[in-house]
Structure 1
């Protein structure tokens, strides 16, 4: 038994077969023509010149024409992957449910601060006499964060550009890049 979607596709093919002409070209080979286009169908080898059955495993319109001319149902020739029993076997295994958002523990990462906060701290520091704390997290004096977390203590942009320019000019070109 095939899946419902496959049955719908085969029914669509069966409604289109009246526009096609089927001629025998030998014992297993047939020629199916539509308008000015001809397609070769070999039912013993399951070879079709349109290539659709080889791609998706479902009989194309040309194969349905040949099978209907022999009073055979095309459902027998659908690939095993499209049968209902295959789908039931695939999904019969127990699937572990995903945890809810409440069950997941929140992970706190100390990363770079938002640049707008740094500019706001600089403005407030210049307007008031008290220095602003180095982070937005409330810490006790014994838990003060190291100086490496302060953005204003880092290297200047000009120094970084000079370093990268000097470093990149001394690197040999990659053999994989086209010049």
Structure 2
């Protein structure tokens, strides 16, 4: 799976007791912001400042990246069309080599079918493990695009029908 991107980012959490690290302009994504199966339109609850970014292990991830939860909430996946930072519970795939919609669905389906969790108190996977998952990718970009578009529209249709039946 590591071949789908050219850059990978981990995360970190600025000290919550230092007010100047928070309420900035950069969305700070945490596992609770993501919902299993909801891969798009994710709304962050917190924002960090430039000061918080510079004084923690958190990194600014470029827009059009895929974030994967590797610890608490492992297996959640989200696509972010905007720049963001994450907690240490994530690995982000950036500078993608494949169609973004296709890549997002591929990551979600791969992780949710192959999780062999490690750890004794907090279960998770490592970034290396996530990057080493074996996947099959159509070589032609137009095939990736068409599959990604199909999956995206099918996902939206399923969501609409679920909403109507409530």
TM-score normalised by the chain length of structure 1: 0.22
- Greater relative contact order (Cα 8 A, min sep 6): structure 1 or 2? 2
More helix by share: 1
Structure number with larger C-alpha Rg? 1
